[in-house]
Amino acid sequence: MHSIVKENYDVVYSYMNDELTFEIPTIERKNDAIEFIREMVAACQKIHGTGGLDGAESYESWLKLLDKHRKMRYKGYESQERVPSITFFCVRKADNRIVGIVNIRKELSRKIDDMYAGNIGYSIRPSEQHKGYGKQLMKLAIDDCINVLKLKTIRAGCYEYNIASKKVLESVGMKPIAINSGIIKSIYYELKL
């Protein structure tokens, strides 16, 4: 565990285990990050947890956006504005490869709850899926939420058809608290400490 940034989140510690570590995106990662997104797009997979990288004008403008998201102030549960968030690449230590990405939100709003977006959004790149990284990433994100952000309730959502994500969320002890009745059903999960 090491201290990496001191901002709206006070001191944020990046958690790591034997295989993976969370890393704040930097300009040095530009080519790796673009390759990561292209791989997700080529596999026609919906990308979650990028803090807007998939729709950004450029990598540089995305870095600026992430900085803004980290520094912004929480405006309260009823605010329509974006809540503060922090985005990490999830990097495999052995070869320094980005295997995934995660966006963590300390506070929630009604808008976020209505979308079942919760505190954690995440993706593992297709070539690294099915290797247990999704579960490891989620465990690290939960550790961050509990030990750094001091959250007592952690929420995350997924489409009902997303078997892998359901298994990942259940692997950290999350329980379903709501299912929406839209054409594509979503499940909202919660972990209460």
Ligand X SMILES: CC(C)(COP(=O)(O)OP(=O)(O)OC[C@H]1O[C@@H](n2cnc3c(N)ncnc32)[C@H](O)[C@@H]1OP(=O)(O)O)[C@@H](O)C(=O)NCCC(=O)NCCS
Q: Interface with ligand X includes 180 (CB under 6 A)?
A: no
Q: Are 133 and 124 in contact (CB under 8 A)?
A: yes
Q: Which stretch binds ligand X (CB under 6 A): 27-35, 60-68, 74-82, 122-130?
A: 122-130
The SS3 of residue 45 is coil
**Number of residues counted as binding ligand X (CB under 6 A):** 20
Q: How far is CA 16 from CA 22, 65, 129, in A?
A: 6, 25, 19
Q: Are 1 and 77 in contact (CB under 8 A)?
A: no
Q: Are 160 and 171 in contact (CB under 8 A)?
A: no
Q: Which stretch binds ligand X (CB under 6 A): 54-62, 66-74, 128-136, 142-150?
A: 128-136
Q: Interface with ligand X includes 22 (CB under 6 A)?
A: no
Q: Interface with ligand X includes 164 (CB under 6 A)?
A: yes
Spacing of C-alpha 192 from chain mean position: 19
Closer by beta carbon to ligand X, 30 or else 139 = 139
Per CB under 6 A, residues contacting ligand X are 45-46, 48, 122-124, 129-135, 158, 162-165, 167-168
